[in-house]
Amino acid sequence: MAGVKERAVLVLEDGTVYHGYAFGARGKTVGEVVFNTAQTGYQEIMTDPSYHGQIVVMTYPHQGNYGVNVYDMQSNRPWVKGFVAKEFSRIASNPRAQQTIGEFMEFYGVVGIEGIDTRALVRKIREGGVLKGTIAHASLFGAPDHAFTEEELEALRREAQAWTDIDGRDMTPEVSTPLPYAWPTLKSGRRIVVMDFGIKHAIVENLAALGFEVIVVPGKTPAHQIMALEPHGLLISNGPGDPTMPRYAHETIWKLMGLLPTFGICLGHQLLALAAGGGPSR
């Protein structure tokens, strides 16, 4: 059916349904629905390991206009479970582009939906907190123009509800480097060790550009192995998951924070606070 836009739905665990159109890889995906307010940087967001397990809704209405290229990857692949926008661009209007956003999502299996009321969805998440959701494309049910039945929507809601929560999960083993590595640089400066809980490439690149020697180690690396690298400072990286769960990291950070200048980003900042004895606000 050439020219017919394939129908799609996003069904939240509370039963709210958003009707739109399929984009990216065709299929179905389930995850925690969150939003991002950036006007640019969709490729960086999709390839940021911090979004592992999440369906990301972009508040800026138009996504993909400048395409995708290998130089803006923040890891070796996308980590988002799904991607949502008011409208995705079919063309890439930038000389740096190597693919369109649609081609990129299809290649890596990222399921998307467009044409929904993203303002209403973001307002719902902002006011009520994140919810789990399922994106499903109509072709799964037989035809691109398939009209979803109440029974099918209820099944998708139950699927979202049954999906394993990110809260209570240590996701470090799923995103951390399996082996230590040194970031390539022509400069020789003070050495910073990065504990990798889902590091973005841009963070390491910027440290190297500032003249630091950067060594990235797995998040489970114990304190004595980190100290054996003779670092001048410690960075605890960003990443996905529940910061209360990697208790091995709390112990390691507690041992090191009195020995090294230590700072954290995103999840790393939360791990640093927990290692120092902090806890969730009541």
pLDDT bin (cut points 50, 70, 90) of residue 282 is: very low
Q: Per DSSP, what are the bridge partners of residue 7?
A: 21
1 within some domain: no
Per-residue pLDDT at 137 exceeds 80: yes
Number of Cβ within 10 Å of residue 139's Cβ equals: 16
List the CATH number of the domain containing 80: 3.50.30.20
- Segment 212-256, tens digit of pLDDT: 999 999 999 999 999 999 999 999 999 999 999 999 999 999 999
Statement to judge: residues 29 and 62 lie in one domain: yes
- Same domain membership, residue 67 and residue 32: yes
- What is the spatial distance between Cα 59 and Cα 38, in angstroms, rounded to a whole number? 7
Query: Which tokens hold the place of 67?
Result: 């395409």
CATH number of the domain encompassing residue 216: 3.40.50.880
Q: Let me know whether 215 and 113 are in one domain.
A: no
Is the same domain home to 187 and 258?
A: yes
Quick one: 180 and 132 in the same domain?
Answer: no
pLDDT of residue 96: 96
Q: Is residue 206 part of a domain?
A: yes
> Of 260, 269, 278, which is closest to residue 223 (Cα–Cα)?
260
Q: What are phi and psi of 254, to 5 degrees?
A: -60, -40
Residue 186: pLDDT band with limits 50, 70, 90: confident
Same domain, residue pair 46 and 77: yes
Neighbours of 230 (CB within 10 A): 9
Are residue 268 and residue 197 in the same domain, yes or no?
Answer: yes
The pLDDT of residue 281: 55
Q: In 129-162, where does DSSP find H-type helix?
A: 150-162
Give the distance from CA 104 to its chain's centroid.
16
| pLDDT value at residue 3 | 60
CA distance 135 to 160: 9
Report pLDDT digits (tens) over 11-20: 999 999 999 9
Question: 1 falls in which pLDDT band (50, 70, 90)?
Answer: very low
Residue 37 lies in a domain: yes
Domain shared by 108 and 230, yes or no:
no
Does residue 167 lie within any of the structural domains?
Answer: no
Q: Is residue 66 part of a domain?
A: yes
Residue 93: partners with Cβ closer than 8 Å, 6 or more residues away: 65, 66, 67
Distance CA 137, CA 21 (A): 8
Number of folded domains that form the chain: 2
Is 210 domain-assigned? Answer: yes
Instruction: Select from 162, 182, 208 the last residue of a domain.
Output: 162
Residue 58 contacts residue 84 (beta carbons within 8 Å): yes
Same domain for 13 and 42, yes or no, is yes
Q: Are residues 158 and 245 in the same domain?
A: no
Dihedral class, residue 152 (left if φ above 0, else alpha if ψ from -120 to 50, else beta): alpha
- Among residues 130, 162, 194, the one where a domain terminates is 162
Q: 68 and 185 share a domain?
A: no
Residue 177 and residue 153 in one domain: no
280: pLDDT confidence band, cut at 50, 70 and 90?
Answer: low
Are 164 and 245 a contacting pair, CB within 8 Å?
Answer: no
In a domain, 2, yes or no: no
* Boundaries of domain holding 75: 7-162
Distances (CA, A) of 40 to 36, 44, 111, 118, 252: 10, 9, 20, 16, 36
- Smallest CA-to-CA distance from 23 within 40, 8, 36 is with 8
Contact 64, 37 (CB under 8 A): no
Which of 162, 184, 219 is the last residue before a domain boundary? 162
Rounded Cα distance between 89 and 91, Å, is 5
Query: Whole-prediction pTM value?
Result: 0.94
Tokens read off for 159: 């699927």
Outline where 4-149 has alpha helix (H): 42-46, 101-108, 118-128
